[in-house]
Chains A and B, each alone.
Chain A
Amino acid sequence: MRASRVAAVALRYFYLVRGSPVRLLPMIAWVAIDIVLWGFITRYLGGLTRFNFVATPLGAVLLWDFLARVMQGITTAFFEDVWARNFLNVFATPITIGDYLLGLVLTGIVTSLLGLAAMLLLATSVFGLSFFAYGVALAPFVFVLFITGISLGIVGTSIVLRFGPASEWLIWPIPSLLSPFVGVFYPLATLPAWMRAISRLLPPSYVFEGMRAIVTGKSARWDQLAFGSVLSVLYLVAACGLFAAVYSYALRTGLIARYSAETAN
C-alpha cells in the first residue's frame, strides 16, 4: 500500500467537489431535512408525554443517518469512476485494491463528517439534542456505526463492480432495508422472533438498544456493545474479502475492460 496512491483516489473526489460545489448539497441537504422533520416530530411528541423523545428518535435518526452517509460517501466516490468510465484508467496502473479501497474510505470519512457536522449543528442548536446524555457509550456507538457504514459501502461497491452500473438501484436502499431489523426507532423486543434473530447479527442493533437503555436511565450493556464492535470488525474484514473476490472475478472474466470498452475486440 502506498500513501500517494491512496491520496490520489481521495484527491480526485476533492477536485470533483471543488469543480462542482453542488456535489456538497447531497452530503448536507438530506440529513438536514431528516433532522428538521424528526426534530419537529420529537418536539410535538415531547409535548404529549414526559418521555425524552429528543434523545431517542432524534438521536437515533442522527446516528442512523451517519451510518448511511458513511456508506454513501464510499459508494458515491466509487460511482464517480463508474460514471466517468474510469475503471480501466485506474486499475491498469500500479494501484492495489488496498490503495483504492482505503482511498474510497478516506473520501467516505470526510464526506460523512461534513454531514455529521451539519446534523449536529441543527440537532443541538435548534432542537436541544445533547450527545453528552449518552456519556462514554457514544464512542462505541460511533465506532460500530462507522465500521458498519464502511462495510456496507464496500459491499455496495462490490455489487456494482460485479453486476454493472445498472445495479446502482440495489445499493441506495440498503440502509432502509436494514433499518427495521436494527431497531432504530423501537426496542428489538417489539420484533417477531425471526426478525430478532436477524437483528442479533447486525451490529447497529446493539447501538440502538444501548442508546435506549441510557435514555431510560439504565446503563448500556457493555458486553453487547463489545460483541457488536467485534461483529462490525468481522464484517469489515468480510466486506474487504468480498471486494477482493469480486475483483478477482472481474480480472478472470474481463469485467473491468468491459466497463470501459463498448466492445472488447
Chain B
Amino acid sequence: MGSAPGEAVLSAEGLTKRFGALLAVDGVSFQVAPGEIVGLVGPNGAGKTTIISMVLGILRPTAGRVLIGGIDVAAQRSAALERTNFAAVYTPLPGNLTVEQNLRVFGLIYGVKALSARIEALLADYDLTRHRRTKTGVLSSGEQTRVELAKAMLNRPKLLLLDEPTASIDPSTARDIRARIVDFAATEQAGVLWTSHNMYEVAEVCHRVLFLSRGRILLAGSPAELIKQHNAPNLEELFVEVAHEALHPAAGAQ
C-alpha cells in the first residue's frame, strides 16, 4: 500500500482556507518525498495547524487539494488516511484508557494486521512495556509523548504528521524522540511533516524547511541553504528576523 516509486507521499496543491474575512492559508503548495522530513515553521497564527488539519481531513479547504500517496483526501478520505498518522501536543490520547488499550483501539481503527504483535513491538520500542496497564493520563509528559508516538507508528504510516511533538518535554527525552522519528523516516521511507517552534530541533532533523507567515510560504529550502542565503548566524535568528519582517513589514523596510 506504499506510494509508487518517486511519488510524493504528500502533495498540497494550492491549499487555501478562509474563515469568514480571515484568510488563514493562502494558496500553499508543497510536497513531501518518501524518507524526507519537512519542517513547517512560522509564528503563531501563520497557518501551520490549519494546514495540518486540512491534510488530516478534519478541515475542508476552501480551495486546493491534498493528495496522500496520490490519493485525494477529499474524494477518498479513508483510503488516504490509512497510510497516514499523526501526533500533536494538543491532542493527548484518552487518559482514562491504559497505554495498551489506547494502542489496541487505534490499531483497530487503522486496521493494523497482527495487532497484538505490533503493540508488543511498539511497547518495547518506546520503553512502554512496564506502563502497558497504566492509565495514559497518569504518565509524565515525556511518557505520554512516547505513547502518542507509538500510536502514530501503529500503521507504519507513509506520511507522519507531527505538530510540536517535543513541546513541554525535557531535552534528553526530546533528543531521544527526535532520534526515533529520524530513524523511522529512514527505515520506513516515510515522509514527515514536522511543526515546531524549536529552530535548533528543526535544523537538526529536517531536510527541508517551509517558513510560513500569514498563510503563505515565505521561504523554502534546507536549513543550511536558508542560513547561507540569508546570511544568518543560525535558523533561530533567521526565524526571528523573517517573522519580525513578516509581521511588521513597514518596520522591516526601514
Taking a contact as CB atoms closer than 8 A, the residue among B56, B78, B93, B96 that contacts A16 in the complex is: B96
Q: Within 8 Å of chain A (Cβ to Cβ): is B138? A: no
User: Given A86-B94, A89-B91, A94-B82, do A265 and B110 touch, yes or no (CB 8 Å)?
Assistant: no
Q: Within 8 Å of chain B (Cβ to Cβ): is A52? A: no
CB–CB B81/A92 < 8 A: yes
By the criterion of a CB under 8 Å from any partner CB, how many residues of chain A are at the interface? 36
Q: Within 8 Å of chain A (Cβ to Cβ): is B207? A: no
Q: Within 8 Å of chain B (Cβ to Cβ): is A176? A: no
The minimal Cβ–Cβ distance linking B43 to chain A, given in whole angstroms, is 8
**Closest partner residue, chain B, to A7 (CB atom):** B108
User: Given A7-B108, A88-B91, A264-B53, do A16 and B48 touch, yes or no (CB 8 Å)?
Assistant: no
Chain A residues 111 to 165 lying within 8 A of chain B, measured CB to CB, are: none
CB–CB A85/B91 < 8 A: yes
Q: Within 8 Å of chain B (Cβ to Cβ): is A214? A: no
CB–CB A93/B50 < 8 A: no
Alpha-carbon separation in the docked complex, A88 to B151 (Å): 14
Q: Within 8 Å of chain A (Cβ to Cβ): is B97? A: yes
Q: Within 8 Å of chain A (Cβ to Cβ): is B126? A: no
Report chain B residues within 8 Å CB of A94. Answer: 77-79, 81-82, 109-111
CB–CB B53/A93 < 8 A: no
CB–CB A252/B105 < 8 A: no
CB–CB A262/B109 < 8 A: no
Report chain B residues within 8 Å CB of A262. Answer: 90
Interface window among B57-65, B166-174, B178-186, B223-231: B57-65
**Closest partner residue, chain A, to B136 (CB atom):** A84
Taking a contact as CB atoms closer than 8 A, the residue among B48, B58, B93 that contacts A251 in the complex is: B58
Chain A residues 84 to 119 lying within 8 A of chain B, measured CB to CB, are: 84-86, 88-96
* Residue in B79, B94, B110, B135 with the greatest tally of chain A CB atoms within 10 Å: B94
Please encode chain B, from 70 to 108, with 1 for each CB lying within 8 Å of some chain A CB and 0 for all others. Answer: 000000011101100010101111111110010011101
**Closest partner residue, chain B, to A251 (CB atom):** B60
Please encode chain B, from 114 to 143, with 1 for each CB lying within 8 Å of some chain A CB and 0 for all others. Answer: 000000000000000000000100000000
Q: Within 8 Å of chain B (Cβ to Cβ): is A20? A: yes
Q: Within 8 Å of chain A (Cβ to Cβ): is B252? A: no
The minimal Cβ–Cβ distance linking A20 to chain B, given in whole angstroms, is 7
Residues of B within 8 A of A (CB): 19, 44-46, 48-50, 53, 56-60, 77-79, 81-82, 86, 88, 90-98, 101, 104-106, 108-111, 135
Closest 7 CB pairs of A and B: A8-B108, A92-B56, A84-B94, A94-B78, A251-B60, A94-B81, A4-B108
